[in-house]
Amino acid sequence: MSAKALLQTYIIQGKEYKKMLEKVNYNGCHTAKIKAIDKKLKIAAKTLKQIKK
C-alpha cells in the first residue's frame, strides 16, 4: 500500500476508535486517550495534505 492509502486508513480507523471511546467515557476515564487520538489525527491529516500536493 502507498503512504497515502495507509494514512487514509489510519485516519478512518482513528475516528471510529474515538467514537467508540466517547460512547464509553462515562466517568471521564478515557478523556486523555481521546485527546491523544485528536492530536495524532491532526498530525496525520496534515501529513496527508502534504502528500496530496
Helices 3-23, 31-52: crossing angle, 10 deg rounding: 160
Q: Which pLDDT does position 53 carry in this prediction?
A: 73
State how far the Cα of 49 lies from the Cα of 13, in Å rounded to an integer. Answer: 18
State how far the Cα of 33 lies from the Cα of 47, in Å rounded to an integer. Answer: 21
19-50 per-position pLDDT tens digit:
999 999 989 899 999 999 999 999 999 999 99
pTM of the entire predicted model? 0.84
